[in-house]
Amino acid sequence: MSGTLTERLAAARAAGDPNAMAEAIPYARFLDITAALDGDDLVSCMNFNQRIIGNPILPAIHGGTIGGLLETAAILKLLWMQETLRIPKTITITVDYLRSAGPKDTYARANVTKLGARVANVRVFAWQDDPARPVAGANANFMLSPA
């Protein structure tokens, strides 16, 4: 848990441990977002906790935390596949809410549609039981920093 962000990201990459990257981001820890490799690809998971409930009657997870998961999954994916150790800055993000998200773990997978020198475009989907039934999706543009 010590070291600068750059050191921690470098150590995570050297160890091949994407979850150590997630742990370097305070807000990801706050939402209990973990990351794991599925083959070559990165899958993020927001582990369920009562604190992320947005609608206690349904009950459903707060839409804002779903947005936070989507954005974090995109950032972790970019950090994982790039050389840079700087966290990409979000320029725009558009979240589509597709289904209400129940009180359980939520997964997210990001697809980098364009990786430019300065800007990256990423599509992300979040699901709970079945990836074919996403609870939300996002399209985001990030400003990349030189390595």
Partner 1 sequence: MANDPVTPARRGSKGDPEGKKPPTTEEMLRLISGSTPHSRELGLEVVHSARGMAIMRLPWHERLVGNPDEMVMHGGVVTTLLDSVCGMATMSARQPPERIVTLDLRIDYQRPATPHLDLFARAEVTKMTRTIAFLSAIAYQDDPKDTVALATGTFMFVGKRRKNGGGKKPA
Nearer to partner 1, 27 or 116 (CB): 27
CA-based Rg of the chain, rounded to a whole angstrom?
Answer: 15
Range 85-114, binding partner 1 (CB under 8 A): 87, 89-97, 100
Nearest one of 84, 88, 73, 79 to 119, comparing CA atoms: 88
Distance CA 142, CA 114 (A): 10
| Count of chain residues binding partner 1 (CB under 8 A) | 39
Alpha helices (H) along the chain: 5-15, 18-23, 26-30, 63-81
Q: Looking at beta carbons only, is 42 or 69 nearer to partner 1? A: 69
The minimum distance between CB 15 and partner 1, in angstroms, equals 19
Please tell me what DSSP assigns to residue 144. P
C-alpha–C-alpha distance, residues 12 and 22, integer Å: 9
Using CB under 8 A, which of the segments 14-22, 35-43, 82-90, 110-118 binds partner 1?
A: 82-90
- Quick note: the x/- pattern for partner 1 over 16-55, rule CB under 8 A, is --------xxxxxxxx------------------xxxxxx
Q: Which is nearer to partner 1, 42 or 140 (CB)?
A: 140
Instruction: Check binding of 71 to partner 1 (CB under 8 A).
Output: yes
